[in-house]
């Protein structure tokens, strides 16, 4: 998603420096007019606005690497960090507080929409943070997102709403997988099943978006099984602290954990359907059936 966001910023006419651990991504970024940097410390003083698009809080903090040699210490006072990973509200507050020690503002700004919408500049951003940070980031946010929700001035509010979104997304994907597995096991034609359900009351955005991957036998990760092992785990951890029951989330989390334990963690999240026994799933077009 980070590369898609960088491309959207370039299309908006903004100068963009970028870093990725993968050399092929840095080369692609350079070929399209971006300015790759060879290391994190090289990028710290180049811009007043830093998007961090990684998987979790640990990676976010690793990039910032608080201390004398870290990026946070090298950013100019008044710079804005836009933290896009799905993390807990507590982690967002912790990172924001430590950035404030360096006089750096933060937008707690998790993103939704996947790689396709990132490429199109049509993400949804659930952001909270100081008004000054929103003002300084306004042009860049408009370049990468179709919708930016301003959810208050305190870090953590954006992340908490993203966790609600992930609860629903994970449960809907698990339900879509279970429904398709059940229908196939009962003799339904998978294509017909998708066509009928996607135009009926049982439809959901996730059903409509993910089941075509299943029908094509295409499990390349747009969003991986392990993402929902992590995200639903964050949801359950926060509910545990609040002593709040989430039975559907817990069931979906176990399904994704089973898929991951079966070696499917890096496949597309709809690969959770593979945990169901006794069904013949559609194969990819280039595979022999």
Which residues belong to the active site?
Answer: 162
DSSP state letter for 271? G
Q: How many CA atoms lie within 13 A of 105 on its CB side?
A: 20
How far is 186 from 279, CA to CA, in rounded Å? 9
Q: Dihedral (C-alpha) 161, 163, 164, 170: value to the nearest 10 degrees?
A: 150
Q: Report the DSSP pairing between strands 49-52 and 35-36.
A: unpaired
- Secondary structure of residue 206 in the 3-state scheme: helix
Distance of CA 219 to CAs 1, 214, 274, Å? 17, 7, 11
With CA atoms as reference, report the closest residue to 111 among 148, 84, 140, 83.
Answer: 84
Residues 6+ apart with CB under 8 A from 173: 206, 210, 228, 252, 269, 270, 272
User: Angle at Cα 163 formed by Cα 261 and Cα 99, nearest 5°?
Assistant: 105
CB-count burial class (<10 Å; 0-12, 13-18, 19+) for 9:
buried
Q: Hey, is 130 helix, strand or coil?
A: coil
For β-strands 49-52 and 80-83, DSSP reports them as parallel
Containing H/E element for 175? helix 157-185
- Give the distance from CA 118 to its chain's centroid: 10
- CB distance 249 to 171 below 8 Å: yes
């Amino acid at each position: 998603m980070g590369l898609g966001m960088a491309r959207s910023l370039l299309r908006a006419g903004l100068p963009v420096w970028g870093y990725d651990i993968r050399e092929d991504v840095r080369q692609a970024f350079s070929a399209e007019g971006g300015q790759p940097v060879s290391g994190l410390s090289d990028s710290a003083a180049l811009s007043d606005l830093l998007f961090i698009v990684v998987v979790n809080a640990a990676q976010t903090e690793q990039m910032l690497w608080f201390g004398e040699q870290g990026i946070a210490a090298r950013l100019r006072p008044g710079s804005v960090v836009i933290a896009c990973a799905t993390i807990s509200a507590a982690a967002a507050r912790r990172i924001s507080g430590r950035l404030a020690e360096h006089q750096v503002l933060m937008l707690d700004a998790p993103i939704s929409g996947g790689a396709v919408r990132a490429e199109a500049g049509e993400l949804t951003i659930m952001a909270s943070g100081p008004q000054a940070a929103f003002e300084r980031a306004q042009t860049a946010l408009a370049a990468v997102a179709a919708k930016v929700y301003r959810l208050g001035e305190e870090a953590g509010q954006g992340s908490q709403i993203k966790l609600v979104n992930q609860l629903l997304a994970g449960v809907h994907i698990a339900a879509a997988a279970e429904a398709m597995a059940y229908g196939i096991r009962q003799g339904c034609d998978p294509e017909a099943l998708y066509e009928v359900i996607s135009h009926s009351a049982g439809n959901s955005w996730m059903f409509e978006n993910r089941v075509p991957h299943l029908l094509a036998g295409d499990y390349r990760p747009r969003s991986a099984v392990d993402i929902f092992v992590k995200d639903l785990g964050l949801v359950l951890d926060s509910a545990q602290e609040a002593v709040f029951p989430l039975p559907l989330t817990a069931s979906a989390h176990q399904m994704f954990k089973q898929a991951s334990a079966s070696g499917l963690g890096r496949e597309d999240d709809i690969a959770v359907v593979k945990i169901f026994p006794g069904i013949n799933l559609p194969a990819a077009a280039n595979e022999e059936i």
